[in-house]
Structure 1
Amino acid sequence: MGVVVNLDQERAKSSPLDRLAKLVEDDLKAANTAIVERMHSPVSLIPQLAGHIIAAGGKRLRPMLTLASARMCGYTGDRHILLSACIEFIHTATLLHDDVVDESDLRRGEASANALWGNKASVLVGDFLFTRSFALMVEDGDLEVLRILSQGSSILAEGEVLQLVTANDTETSESAYMEVIEAKTAELFAAASELGPVIAGRPKKEQDAFRAYGLNLGIAFQLIDDVLDFSAKQESLGKAVGDDFREGKITLPIVLAFARGSEEERTFWRRTMEELDQNDGDIKHATDLLVKHNALTDTVERARHYGAIARDALGVFPESDIKTALLDVIDFCIERAY
């Protein structure tokens, strides 16, 4: 007797990232092998430290965007394997540098590399991973690929500097903040997604579509991260509630609450975010103000807006299992807030 399988129920049992990983399973295994091989160095501290953060690096979402976009565009070669490793090296290098800048002791619930080996080693190994990514770009040999990745790396670095400039500045505007996250987070999502149709030789229209998908997915992803800083769910993601708040990071919920608040409330934000003069109970008061002014719910709504743009961008492609998984990833990134 045949067994009827409810596909909707089966999809509900696994996360969209797991389903996407399953669809590119062989490619992802090859990419992970390449990552391990290409981070090798006779200087033992390099693979030791790099391996620590890569192992704690999460679901490999950015590399999977390269693998999935290539396969969805009909690519049958293997260039996407090393290019996805290149994306992972760029991402990991920025994590190493970010943790030093932020003086973070944890990364996804584990001790950060800088906490274990110190700031100097973390910065230098981050530099090593950047150079490894450059070597992989050159090895691929395609000038358009080199343009996308080198330009993306430059924009990402500019975003990190922009964030440094706006740090602790409660007068940061919403447009200025969006400029920061588009550069420091969304650009790498965009580059990772654009590589697939480029190496598949697809028309410019499809390259632009995947770039728009990645860029807007990245923006939505970061906006939800902003919301999660004030959510108990942070603990399951390896960060304490209010980490960004304690560091004085200006995120969109704070930008909105500051703009909508009274002068007394703005004095609170200036004390806690600009002067970093924080007391017991300030994180709760901050969260109460964000709720009072709908700053968290409005940030989620903005994430939904960018998620909708990402969804529309893939409308130029025919239906497929990979397309469905990529669309589900949008919802997954946004639903993390709940």
Structure 2
Amino acid sequence: MPLNSKIEPSARLSVAPMMDWTDRHCRYLHRLLSRHTLLYTEMVTAPAVVHGDVERLLGFDVAEHPVALQLGGSDPQQLAEATRVGCEFGYGEVNLNVGCPSDRVQSGRFGACLMKEPALVADCVQAMIEASTGAKITVKCRIGVDDQSPAEILPAFLDTVAARGVNSFTIHARMAWLDGLSPKENRDIPPLDYELVHRMKADFPELEIILNGGIADLDTALEHINRGLDGAMIGRAAYHTPTDILATADRRIFGQDTDTSAEDAVAGMLPYIENHLSNGGRLNQITRHMLGLFSGRAGARQWRRTLSEQAHKPGAGPEVVEQALSHLTQTAA
């Protein structure tokens, strides 16, 4: 399958940034399943980067590349400084969050509420571009919020922000209702409008437009890519059933000739786990991301049970993972 030469190949498929989920351990696991899928950090606020423990917030393994840093914020100077720091850490992309609808995000005047302030978003991305030393600056947004008319405000938003130099937008094809819905409800209740996102690609052919929202399998991702979008971003499905989404992605999405397997990923995680434990980490910090590796297969329940019951115990090590794998193999036999 030929790749669109106008975009970064990794943009064809990405795993969405998800708070409490897409940490460095999760990304390392996902990278073992797919060499080419673009991975994102959890959202990190610009003030936290500027004032906090930068190594804890931004540290990652070089094996995770291609990996993007997602920032939250609305102060151009803070975002510029956070971008500079992210570039020093080696991130190849820095993404501005204009889509998260949580109360905490709204109180900080960033996330989805910024859909109402495109001029401020434009100032922010310009500052980020000027501070970047090689990282691509991108935006993840909604189609609108509250009583906005997406067909009217989304093209105006794209036009305003793109005029400052951003040429890549990941669009969550749902409105965000900031008053009346929880963040969880905002992921499911507002209806999806995929056709509007496709119209944006037709109206802005020079922009990289990536679809997010409700995509649960590679068939759906490919359908939208083949219709003309530059890429698809998958969220919860990639986390809960990572093998289903990522193990064949390099072949189906990126045109490579190899697949991988859950067993391959487990084998690759064992030395990573040993290194993490030797540095004072705990096993369950990693294995919580591995629970869905065998989803849908015989023995998957036993795999999850063994990890859930044993990995949190003091002194738990790689042998717990090996035991869980042996139980799965015995059950499937």
Fold conserved between structures, TM > 0.5? no
Larger RCO, structure (CA 8 Å, separation 6 or more): 1
Normalised by the size of structure 1, how large is the TM-score?
0.33
Give the number of the structure whose residues are more often strand, by fraction: 2
More helix by share: 1
